[in-house]
Amino acid sequence: MRTGIVYMVATVLCIFVTSCFTGVESTKKITMPDTGEIAAQSPEDRFIESYFVQQGCDTWRIGKPFYYTDEKLSFVFRPEKPTFPDSISLKGKIFTYAGSIEESPFGGDDKVVLLFDCEGHKFRYETGKTREEIGRLKYTPLIPPFIDIDDLNMARSLLKDRVLYIKTPMWYNEKSEAIEGRKLIPVRVVDIRPGNNVLPVEVWFEDDKGNQAGVFMSLLSSSRSQYITFDRLFSFENPRLQYKEIQDDAWEQITLGKVKTGMTKAECKLSLGNPNEVKKIPTYSGLREQWIYNSGAYLFFVDDLLADYRL
């Protein structure tokens, strides 16, 4: 797995603590406009729910593979041999599901224990649940270092070489370092790769200028997840078609996550997202409006047009 994950994860978590003015949230409203009504499920969300259905671990086949993202063994696992060497790096290795057994260590109901193999080493995961509970709840264990390879392969078969429209300028290079990208532009999916503990999937793509980069996401639908999901990152349809009234020069600024004087409030909101604070400032010539972002950026509007700003 490539380096720089810690930096990437910190950046991802920041998105949900603050409203970053160049973040994913700034373009989420393109397919779900704020009309005062409950928005219909997006085609992108329906796509995920159609192909990535939540299933319990009782449906796993023997040999089901998982990509492991951590260097060390997670505390949720218990190795069959207590002398399992701590010096072994597990990052990038494949764990396979080896079945399950039932145990009642305290004389109560039998609880299911999941078994895994990795290069000759055997591991146990204690679910703490009965088989009836696992079936009824469609229970799947939360094992952060695990990435479901079946899901990766499915996403790759559905998305590779497909042209999508990216909705965030927060891109990452081969070293998982954040780079400046563009949004609301067409990109071709080059590959689907393992991600990390927080966001298990990396979509690697090429833009219309030949630049390659990636974004990280979860394969859950946004209705079931607070993480960055497919529908928050990509659109199947060209968003430019929804904004034919916007001039090309203003649209170019929007794709770069920037603004220029003379842009309308709607154009600035498309570019930077919703402000964290709005102030009305009386002046001799009328009312001036200030938009303030948590990033430190601010915009000043006069007669609903951008008159001054700092990014």
Give residue limits of the domains in the chain. 5-16+25-52+150-241, 57-139, 258-310
What CA–CA distance (Å, rounded) separates 3 from 16?
Answer: 23
Q: Which of the residues in the chain have pLDDT under 70?
A: 1-39, 223-225
* Cα angle 242, 247, 253; round to 5: 90
152-157 long-range CB contacts below 8 Å, 24 or more apart? 152/67, 152/192, 152/193, 152/194, 152/201, 154/51, 154/52, 155/52, 155/192, 155/201, 155/219, 156/191, 156/192
- Say which residue the tokens 């701590």 belong to: 86
Q: Which of 199, 216, 273, 249 is nearest to 20 (CA)?
A: 273
Confidence (pLDDT) at 38: 52
pLDDT for the residue 81: 84
Question: Other C-beta atoms within 10 Å of 118: how many?
Answer: 19
pLDDT per residue over 96-113, tens digit each? 999 999 998 777 789 999
pLDDT at 257: 93
Q: Give which of 42, 48, 36, 125 is closest to 80, Cα–Cα.
A: 125
Contact 139, 56 (CB under 8 A): yes
* Confidence (pLDDT) at 18: 39
> CA-CA distance, 14 to 21, in Å (whole number)?
12
